[in-house]
Amino acid sequence: MARKQVSKRYERHKDSPVPKGRLLAIGGSEDKGNSELSDEQKQNSGFIKEEILKRFVDELKGDNPTVLVVPTASGEPEESAKDYIKVFSDLGVKKIEILDIRTRQDALNPEGCEMVERASGIMFTGGDQLRLTSILGGTAVLQLMKERYTYDNIIIAGTSAGAAAMSTPMIYEGDTEGGYIKGDVRITTGLEFMRDVAIDTHFIARGRIVRMSQAIATNPGCIGIGLEEDTAILVTEGKEMEVIGSGLITVVDGSNISHTNIYEIKTGETFTVRDLKVHLLSNGQRYTLPIYDQLHI
């Protein structure tokens, strides 16, 4: 099989595995400054309107930077794109483009790669993470995004499904409300901006700690990151994590699991796992992901 074509950027820097770009993974329902505050936001004395999206804009580099909105995950991409055009315009961004990829055929259009090359920041909207990975997976436009994340000073953000798709493994479905039955949690390969990390969103609001625990029990070498709504992580150097927003981040570490029966029980039975380590982190907290350095393309 022939090797994939790669650009001169890769050939110049193929010995540099630490990404120069930054990732902003958002748990969904981030404040856009255009709706009533939730009860949780009202009760949080440290709440800052549009805090997460302001941080995205602050992280953009260059004069008059371009933001590229990718609404591929959404079933209503035009509406999703409009929301971000408005909020980014209100935050002072003058150049906003829409990468309107809805099918595999759309993803083959070379104009998509040209738009990715122009971008100082990329924003994946919410929707369905399986739609996002099945349309973009293995395409030149995704390869270029990962290449730019590795070697260029760019910020790549995703909210809800757009955040869940950033990692590998990627959780995309759960049959039961809690995810406590073996086989209920569906996992596939994500966009692979982060490896050996599983990201789940709307984490506390939708009670997803058990389904994340099942995902980590099946592969304790992964770290689980649960993102609550209006809460995000900013990841630099591929593993240095800062919490932003009004809620909590849940970190599920399975490296010291002492026992699990996940490999012994049958599909449809409840699972056991002991000695999971869980961290709850609030705004401003930092955490180093215990993962190995690796090439991110």
Active site residues: 160, 202, 229
- Is the Cβ–Cβ distance between 15 and 221 less than 8 Å? no
- Is the Cβ–Cβ distance between 92 and 57 less than 8 Å? yes
**Nearest-angstrom CA–CA distance, 29 and 52:** 11
DSSP 24-73: EEE-S----SSSPPPHHHHH-TT--TTHHHHHHHHT--SSS-EEEEE-TT
Return the CA Rg of the chain: 19
Closest CA to 23 of 161, 163, 138: 163
Q: Is 13 exposed, middle or buried (0-12, 13-18, 19+ CB in 10 A)?
A: middle
Query: How is residue 161 written in tokens?
Result: 């499904």
Q: Tell how far CA 34 is from the center of its chain.
A: 23
Query: How is residue 238 written in tokens?
Result: 């591929």
**Nearest-angstrom CA–CA distance, 132 and 169:** 14
**Cis, peptide link before residue 19, omega less than 30° from 0:** no
**Nearest-angstrom CA–CA distance, 166 and 292:** 17
